[in-house]
A and B are shown apart, each in its own frame.
Chain A
C-alpha cells in the first residue's frame, strides 16, 4: 500500500510546483479549452456541419468570407466553417486521444513485461522497437490503411486510423517504461516482497506500477500531441471519414476544392490553427511534466563570470 500512498503524496507536491510553472499552465489551458469546445459544440453554433447556408435567393452561399457570414464564413458547399470546426474538434480529439491511450496501454504493457521478466521477452521487445524505429512512419501507416481497406472488413475509417496510429506509436512508451522498471526491479523492496512469497502480478501492481505511473502519464501526453498531428495528416491525405470530418479532413476538403486559389483563407487557416493549438498544449504540458519528474542540469561552465565584490562595498 505504501507505494501508492507515496505516489498520492508526491502528486500533491507536484501540483504545487506545477502551479507556479507558466509554460505548464498555458499548456493545460490550451488542452482544456479545446476539450471544452469539443464537448460544448452544439451550444457554440446554431448550425450543423452538413447544413447548407442559403442566401436570400435560396442559392447556396459558397466561399462566403467572415465579413458576410460570421464568424468564419462558408466553404465551397455553403457549409458553415465554424460549425465544422467545433464539431470537427470532437472527431480530431477523439481519434487522437483514443490512439494515444492505445499506445499508452500497449507500450506500458510491453515495457513492464520486458523490464520485469527480462530474458528473451526483453530481447524480442528491443528488436521489434528497433525495427519500428527504422521504418518510416507515414509510408508504413499508409500501406497498412490501404491494405486493411482492401480487405474490405466492416471497420469504420476512423477506427482504422485509431488502431493504426496506436499500434505504431507505442515504442517510446515501451522503452521508457522498460528502463524505469529495470531500475526499480533492482531495489530492495522487490526482493523482500519476493522473499515473502508475493506473486509477480502482486509485485507489479503494488510496487512497480505506482512508480512508473507518473512517467507514463507524462510520456502519454506527449504522444497525444503526436497522435493528433498524425491523425490530421492521414485525414488530409484522404484516409479519414468524409461523413465525420475532423480538422484534417477539413483541410483535405479545402485543398481539393480549391480554397487556396479562391483565396478562402477562412477555410484553410482555422483548422490548422486548431491543430497547432491542441498539439502545442499537449507538448507544453508533457514537457513540463517530464521536466518535473526528470529534472535536468542547472548550469554550465560558460554561463558568465563570478562577481568580485570590492572591499567596503555593500553586499
Chain B
C-alpha cells in the first residue's frame, strides 16, 4: 500500500457559542484516504460529517476551535498560515456542496466562474484557460454554449454538474463532496453519481463523500467511516460495513434502510434523538439509544477496537474479541 494522500488524526472541533457554552462537534476523528480511493462519511444530520470537511479545509467561522493533525501529502494543513492554506484550496483540495442553488454566484456567468478558479491559481495563460473551461464543461456533459449562461438558467442537476466541472478545474488530487445528490430528484441523482464514478476513473481522483444516503455509499465508495455524535463509530471497507457491521448504530442504520426485497415490511427507525452537542455524556454517545448497552457504556467512552483487517468499531461489546487500537 502506498502512502495515504490524506491522513486525519485526532481531529477535534469545538464551537464557542458563548464564553461558557461550547458545542463539541467533532472529537478524536481519524481516518486515511489513499489515492484513487472513495471514502464515504455517513451518519445522521448533526453527527459532524460536514464539519469534518469544513475543518479539514479550514472554512469554519471564527468561533470554531480546531485541533489535531491533517496530513496532506505529508504537510500538516492545520499548521499552515491562512495564506499558505489558500494555495492548497481548490488546487489540491476541491469542494462541491449540497445546494448548488446558491453555491454559484447568480450575477456571474457560469464559464466565468470556472475560469476564475483556473486563473486564480495561475495554472495557464488566459487563452488556454478558456480552452480548459470548454473541456471541463464537455467532461461533465454541458454544451459549451450553455456555459455563457447564468446559474439561474440551469436546472438543479446541471448546476451540480457545473459545480463539479468547476471543482475539477485545477486538477485536484482530492475532491470533497458534501451531500452532492441530496437536493436532487432520483433520476438526476443517478446521473450525477454516474458522472462522479466516470470522472474518478478517468482522472484518478480520490473522493471524500459526505452523505446520509447508504445507497449512494454502496454505489460509489470503497471505504466507509460511520460518525455518531462527533466521534467515529465504525470504520471499514464497504463490504465489511454492509455485510458484518459491528457497531450497534451501524447495524441499526443499515436496518432502517428500506429493503427492496421486502417491500411490505415496516420501516425500522432508531428510537430517541441524537445527543445535544453542548451537553455530551462522558460515556459512549450512542448509549442512550443502544439496544445492547452495558453498565460500562455510560461511564466510559469506548476506544476503537480492531475487528478484522482494517475494520474498526468503537464499542465495549467488542473488547473480548480483539486488542484495542
Residue pair B67, A303 in contact (C-beta under 8 Å): no
Partner of B61 from the list A304, A308, A310 (CB cut-off 8 Å) is A304
**Which partner residue on chain B sits nearest A305 by CB separation?**
B82
B64 at the interface (CB under 8 A from A): yes
User: Do B69 and A306 touch across chains, with their CB atoms under 8 A apart?
Assistant: no
> Total contacts A to B, CB within 8 angstroms?
41
Let me know if B61 and A307 touch, CB within 8 A.
Answer: no
CB atoms of B67 and A306 under 8 A apart: no
Q: Map CB proximity to A onto B35-73 as digits: 1 under 8 Å, 0 otherwise.
A: 000000000000000000001001111111111110000
Digit string of A237-257 for contact with B (CB within 8 Å is 1, else 0)? 000000000000000000000
Q: A311 interface residue, CB < 8 Å from B?
A: yes
- Residues of B contacting A308 in the complex (Cβ-Cβ under 8 angstroms): 58, 66-67, 78-79
Q: Does A19 contact B (CB under 8 A)?
A: no
User: A186 near B: Cβ within 8 Å?
Assistant: no
Interface residues of A in 258-304 (CB under 8 A from B): 299, 301, 303-304
Docked Cα-Cα span, A84 to B59, in Å, equals: 61
Which one, A301, A306, A311, contacts B64 given CB within 8 A? Answer: A306
What range describes how many residues of A lie at the interface?
10 to 19
A299 to B61 Cα, complex, angstroms:
8
Q: In the complex, are the beta carbons of A306 and B68 less than 8 A apart?
A: no
A306, A309, A310, A313: the one within 8 Å of B62 (CB): A306
Question: CB-CB < 8 A to B59: which residues of A?
Answer: 306
Are A303 and B66 in contact, with the CB atoms below 8 A? no
A55 within 8 A of B: no
Bound Cα distance A304, B10 (Å) = 24
Q: Which B residue sits closest to A309, measured CB to CB? A: B67
> Bound state CA distance, A301 and B60, in angstroms?
8
A315 within 8 A of B: yes
Neighbour of A306 across the interface among B10, B61, B79, CB < 8 A: B61
- Contact residues of B between 191 and 226, Cβ < 8 Å to A: none
CA distance A9 to B2 in the complex (A): 64
Chain A residues near B62 (CB-CB < 8 A): 299, 303-307
What B residues does A305 contact at CB under 8 A?
Answer: 58, 62, 82
A310 shortest CB reach to chain B, Å: 7
Give min CB distance, A302 to chain B, whole Å: 10
Decide if A310 touches B82 in the complex (CB within 8 Å).
no
- Interchain CA distance A304-B55 in the complex, whole Å: 14
In the bound complex, what is the Cα–Cα distance between A69 and B83 (angstroms)? 66
Contact (Cβ within 8 A) B66 A309: yes
User: In the bound complex, do residue A307 and residue B64 qualify as a contact, i.e. CB atoms below 8 Å apart?
Assistant: yes
Name the CB-closest residue of B to A299.
B61
**3 closest Cβ contacts across the A-B interface?**
A304-B62, A306-B64, A309-B67
Q: For the A-B complex with A306-B58, A310-B67 known, give 13 more contacts whose Cβ atoms are closer than 8 Å.
A: A301-B61, A303-B61, A304-B62, A306-B55, A306-B59, A306-B62, A306-B64, A306-B65, A306-B66, A308-B67, A309-B67, A311-B67, A315-B65
Interface CB pairs A-B, < 8 A, 14: A301-B61, A304-B62, A305-B62, A306-B58, A306-B62, A306-B64, A306-B65, A307-B66, A308-B58, A308-B67, A308-B78, A308-B79, A311-B67, A315-B65
